Every structure is written in C-alpha cells, then in structure tokens.
Structure 1
C-alpha cells in the first residue's frame, strides 16, 4: 500500500501514478462497518474492472479548521490506525488530503476537478451522506454533473445495526457510556487504544496488582472512567487484563488528566518503552473512592475474578 499526502493549493500531482483507480472517499473516523461497505465496494469495482483500489481521506478533522475557536479533536481511529485498517483491506493507494482553509473554500466543481479528475479516478464510491466543496454544497446527488463524464460512481445507502444507523457519532456515544460490546458491533472489531509503557508510581505492586502504565500515542477518544476487561498485545503476544481508566480518586491523583493502567494477567517482565495495544471488551464498574487500602484490594480481587470469568465464558 502506497500513501500520498496531498494539499491544496500547493498540490503535487503524481505523474508516476498512471493507473486507473476505483476510489472510496470519506473522512472514515472509526473505519466502521458502514465505512467498510464503501471501501469494499471500491475494491469490488477495482477487481471487476482491473483498476487499482484507492481510498481518499482527510486530515485534520474539518471542525478543527472550520471552528472559530481552537478545537481539540479526539479520534476513534487516529491517522496511523486508519492506515492500518486500510492496509488490512488490501488497498493499493491511500491519499491523505490536508484539510485547510483553501480546501474548505473550493467550490464543488473545483474539488472534483482538482482531487478526482486530475488524479485519474475512474470510479468513485461514497456514502449517501458524503458532501464536498464549499459548505458541503456538493453531494452524491450532484456528483454525476460534476464528474464531467470522466468517471462513474456508486452510492452506499445507510448501513444499520438493530435499526440504528452505524456512524462515528453513534460509536462515540457507545464508547463514552462504556458500552464496549455495542461499539464492537458497530466497528466490526473491539475498540482499541495504542500507547507506550511508561514508569508509574509502582503503587500497584504494593497492592498485589502490578500495573503497566500507558501513555497514549495519539489523541484517542477515551471511554468513560472505570475498570474494563481488556486484552493487551505486548510484542505480538495477547494477554487478558484489567484496565483502569481514570483519576485514581482513592489517592486523589490525576484530577485533570486521566491515566491508563493495565494489570496484565499471568505476566511478568520489564516492558518499559514498548508499544502496546489495548482492546476494550467490557465495562466492569465505575471509578470509586475507597475508604481504605484493604477495601480497594478486596475490590480489585473481585474485579479480576469477574474479568477472568468474562473471558472464560466468551472465548
């Protein structure tokens, strides 16, 4: 998979790409089951027509550029995770278009001319609600006119699960309320966080629960504070574990910034500095402040028992 970064107006056109392409276009935060239908259709057309498969996405999120106030965005799939998903789908080319003020001002016809026709797109696939051009005036109802007859297109209708539209907004709601199983169903995979193991306060060792402290590698959308049943990948080996995401109220720590720590079951070893991936499967309970260390230790034992049982019956 080859990745190209494009920017307007300092666009660099890729003379070395002479291939005809079937291209899926969208922001694709989450690369959820709805997005997968769009990408899958682009791949099917590519295979049928003998085209290369391609994806066009945008970065940063348009709201960062269009908002009048400084805005911080937390992503379901930060850019690296998106690229990983596209590669798993076997996409040939990915185009990451920098979303900036100049791009936001392009009229729909200009956008199509600059980013689709000049690129050599022969078939375009997008969701029914995809829009393009200044103030989103271009839609899949106008794409035929704007294509100038240079490419064909497919529109993917709304994809639902249990009569609910699968969308990034719906997934964020599931994550923010700890409904990890429902987020899993909409994503088509467990929600995950990626980060690096850092030094912590080592208090977990004194409690009998030595934890791995994680510094996230990107601006992930965090689930609600609490304890979770997780699987953690360390050096390509997957372990069951118990994660705490939150503010450690018993010790009055991290009041402003949540911490992420994982007690990895049946594991020992020094993994400081290693990258790990945490898959979140089930919300166990919310954070709470305990009146004593013994009360906290008792609760942690109960949490571990519940999580081991959860994975035993779900495996």
Structure 2
C-alpha cells in the first residue's frame, strides 16, 4: 500500500494530535449534527492508552451522565472502526477505543505514527526537534571548570557531558547560548571579585541579593579582563555603548581589524562584545560606576594578582 501523502510539519506530535482530534470531531458531528466542533481535554493515562480524552465537560453542558456517554461513544465509535477495517478501508489514526469511567482511551495506528515521525526527521534533518520559542534570550552556560589544585576524576567528565548537552538543548530551543569554561586559576577568580568589589562597595548599595551582586561584579570584571586580552579597552566599549549601536559596531570592526589573522582573538572580540552588552542590559547601574575606575586600569589581570598576593 502506498504511503499516505502529506507534508511533514515541524512538530510531528502536533500533527498526530491534530489527526486524532479531526477523526474524533468527525464522529461527534455524525452523532451530534447540531453541535459546533468541541475540543476535548486530554488526560495523561499512558499506561491505559496511547491517547485519552475525558467527556465530563462535554456531558455536563448537555446534562448527560459522563460515564454513560463515554461508554456509548466507545461502543459506537469502535463499531465504526471495525466496520471500516472489515470493508478493507485504509485505517485512520485511531484504531481502537474503550471507555474507562468518563475517559475514552484510544489506541493509535503505530505504523502511521512512526511514518509521521520519520518523515518529519527526513524532511528537517538536523533541525528536527528545534524551536524558536526562546528566540532573543541569551544565556551563558558554564561547565567543565576543573579544579587544577586537585586530581581530575570521572565527575569532571560528567560535568562536561551535562554542560555541553544542556547548551545544545538550549540552542535548539532558540536561546543564544554561549559556553564558558572558568578555571579556578589559583585564586584568580577571588582576585577579580575583590578588585571589582573595591570599585563599588563605597559608591553603590547592593540592589539585588548579595550573592547575585558579587557574582555580577565578578562577571563584569572578568569580561573586562577578557576584552583587554584581545586588545579592547573596556572604557572605549562603555563609551561606545553610551553613544549607540553605530558606535559599538564601528568599535567592533576596528577591534576585529586589529586582530585580523588571529582566529582565537577574533572569536574573543566577537564573544566578549556580546557578553559585555548583555551584562550592561542587566547591570547598567553597577557597570557605570565600575567603569569609572576600570577604564583607568591598564592591566586588570595584574591588578587582581596584586590583591591576591597582598592577601596571602
């Protein structure tokens, strides 16, 4: 038998459920010809059926006993399905049904279900299962981040797998997801956090939870340090952000030209321009204060190291 012709949709589950709804609605129109099309609430009863709908709401509107109606529907609908099968007609999406209280449990045409899914996979290729539901949302996923002060172990590999796969899942959902690997570089993180704190603590009261506040300061200072590593002055980028998008784009092109031929630095310029702007959208008040001092620091990494050395 030739396969049923249809155009695969992005969501084969939606395609399947729509087909179930259409077949059920066609039966309801035959039984209740004066009724407008209704939607039937689905229930999660995967042990009892492939798909399940409940008739309580439908019956209540018509002052009918829902369990009795479900039994009547199951008996009549199953009789129709059997008659079509005996007549040699092509099976639809629903192949059998049975009542269970107010529920109608339905078994589906497995070959047709698989056909829908496989055709969608073949049609969409690597984009199968993707969505743009989170389009426009940015997220940084930190993973791996092994501690060089201790031996590597299987847990480190586990973190790599979880982080990398989470990033892929979020990208598939439409997120602008970037992956970061923070190294516990013998206290470098503490130094950066302390350096940031000295620039803010007496000038601005925390306006968020204290752990979020300190984390945000570290993120800003680390981003400014990374910008310096690829030849971008954080103060110049802050001025460009204040001036507008054209100024930011112009500074990026200038910065990219300065590192042309260096793939690692080129990637760093693009990545940390984006991260800086994202942080600025979230923590602008803090960053305006921090950048007043940060723009005067020639080498953030060296200054953070000095604080670490002083603490030791």
Question: Under a length normalisation based on structure 2, what TM-score does the superposition of the two structures give?
Answer: 0.21
| Greater fraction helix | 2
Question: Under a length normalisation based on structure 1, what TM-score does the superposition of the two structures give?
Answer: 0.21
